[in-house]
Structure 1
Amino acid sequence: MARPNPSYGAGVFRRRIRLHAAANTVSVALEDGNHGFRIQLRHDGERVTDIGVDALRHPFDTCPEAAGPLQRIVGHRLDSPMQALRDRVVPGENCTHLFDMAALAVSHAGHSDAVLEYDMAVEDDKGRPARVDIRCNGRQVHAWEVEAHHVVAPPALAGKPMMRGFHAWAAACFDGPELEAAIALQRAYFVAQSRRFSFDPPEANPGIADGMPQGSCYSYNPGAVERALRSAGTVRDFTHAADKLLRFEP
């Protein structure tokens, strides 16, 4: 059973995603306190032809298996709507983060020689509104204050949920790059909640002990969750070390 993290309240969850679109290839790298992944998506200008996954750091020993269901993306038309990708690949049957990275790669597959870097920061809850923000290539896109999983500032967004119901209001408020950044920030906020807990010793915290709903991600689905053992020594604290993100240090 996870215990409260005694360091929670004094830190910042950080996540960085870097995307590079070249001719017929899109590479995406992601690192945060819990994860380190790289993918390379190949396409012929019309459809996805291949996707490779490099799972460097992950919460459970079952997580790398999610490279399997992600292969359903091969053959997906690049000009299809996002819902078509979700129907084909099914997010809940995949690693959440690999799916998000693949969706980003598809969205930017036509932007040859494009480089995009998202930096997300989510303050620990200190008993007052916590700042959450995202920058794209150094430029701030969103900066919100959040309390009890709801936005409290800016005033125009006050009361909007950061968990269930987020995507509906975000899609109504933003589009294009602003919507893409908002979705990335919400995902970082969701993962940042893991900072509240300590999962040591890992052998006492298998996946099935988390009580997560079926379909939360690959490792929480039947057939995987019963086998999912927590990886040891994989949690990082980048509060004061943002420069180390995407170095994938051991």
Structure 2
Amino acid sequence: MSVIVHHSGGNAIRIEPDMRRAPWSTCPGAEHMLMQTFTGLPLKQFAERGDKKANCTHLYDMAMLAAAHAQDGAQTIYDIQVSDAIDNERVAEIRKNGETLLKWTESGFHLVKPDAAAGIRLDKLRSWIDTLEPGLQEPARLLQWGNMLANGRSIPIEQQSDATKMPPNCYSFQPEMAIKAKRIGEILDFSQTTNQRTEQPLDKYKPVVEQR
């Protein structure tokens, strides 16, 4: 998935989402919802919009990032990597332009390291994140979300394929959408590198960067 925010004079004049792969049959409808949510809005008001659960949360987060960095003079690239669990522990890391900013250890949906956050649930980190220096708060929120998503790999697909049993936290899980949502798409497993699969997950999806 990707989002391009076209802007002029500090306002978003066009939102261009691109959902190349999606987990649910209803997800593509979230592209129009994202355009409705942000088109015409001042960039500085994106964070105040507050309609994340009505949107695809992934597209929404990318639109928020785009608005936050729209006036940057240089490119920003975040990479998030979360290991599978080894001895019930995952290692989660986020890099900015190739430099590691944060590295956490998580077990059972709770942080183990860093020590300052040990024992806190992944979905309850916001207060601790707010105590970090400003330059680390954005990457910490991204790593929190990436680490939470990575836990889904340990849940059997048959246990996460009924949208009506999911909390209404995104576009496809809203009650009116959940009754129609069906699991779609090919499952790609990058757990093992073999002679048949040597590519990395994003090899086919190089980012599009527009600079003017």
Range of TM-score over shorter length: 0.7 to 0.9
Tell me how far apart the structure 2 counterparts of residues 55 and 95 of structure 1 sit (CA, whole Å): 10
Query: Quick one: which of 205, 223, 237 aligns to 2:161?
Result: 205
User: In the alignment, does 2:97 pair up with 1:97?
Assistant: no
Could you say if the C-alpha distance between residues 242 and 232 of structure 1 is closer, same or farther in structure 2, counting changes exceeding 3 Å? closer
Tell me the amino acid that sits aligned with residue 163 of structure 2.
Answer: G
Structure 2 gaps of 5+ residues are 207-212
What SS does the aligned partner of 2:45 have? Answer: coil
| Contact in 2 for aligned 1:58/1:234 (Cα 8 Å) | no
Could you say if the C-alpha distance between residues 151 and 205 of structure 1 is closer, same or farther in structure 2, counting changes exceeding 3 Å? closer
Cα offsets for 1:91-111 (capped at 9, x unmatched): 000001000000000001111
Could you say if the C-alpha distance between residues 242 and 182 of structure 1 is closer, same or farther in structure 2, counting changes exceeding 3 Å? farther
- With 217-226 and 189-198 compared, the bigger mean Cα shift is at 189-198
Could you say if the C-alpha distance between residues 228 and 156 of structure 1 is closer, same or farther in structure 2, counting changes exceeding 3 Å? same
TM-score normalised by length of structure 2: 0.85
Structure 1 gaps of 5+ residues are 1-36
Shift of 1:81: 6.9
Q: Map 1:10-25; keep pairs closer than 5 Å.
A: none
Please identify runs of 4+ aligned residues in structure 1 that moved more than 3 A.
238-244
Q: CA RMSD in A?
A: 2.4
TM-score normalised by length of structure 1: 0.73
| Contact in 2 for aligned 1:45/1:110 (Cα 8 Å) | no
Shift of 1:206: 4.0
User: In the alignment, does 2:26 pair up with 1:62?
Assistant: yes
Cα offsets for 1:44-75 (capped at 9, x unmatched): 03111110111100100111100122122012
Tell me how far apart the structure 2 counterparts of residues 40 and 234 of structure 1 sit (CA, whole Å): 26
Q: Map 1:171-210; keep pairs closer than 5 Å.
A: 171-176=130-135, 178-199=136-157, 205-208=161-164
Could you say if the C-alpha distance between residues 50 and 236 of structure 1 is closer, same or farther in structure 2, counting changes exceeding 3 Å? farther
Counterpart in the other structure of 2:101: 141
| Contact in 2 for aligned 1:134/1:140 (Cα 8 Å) | yes
Q: Map 1:233-244; keep pairs closer than 5 Å.
A: 233-237=186-190, 240=193, 243-244=200-201
Could you say if the C-alpha distance between residues 187 and 73 of structure 1 is closer, same or farther in structure 2, counting changes exceeding 3 Å? same
Counterpart in the other structure of 1:39: 3
Higher RCO by CA contacts (8 Å cutoff, separation 6 or greater): 1
How many pairs are equivalent? 201
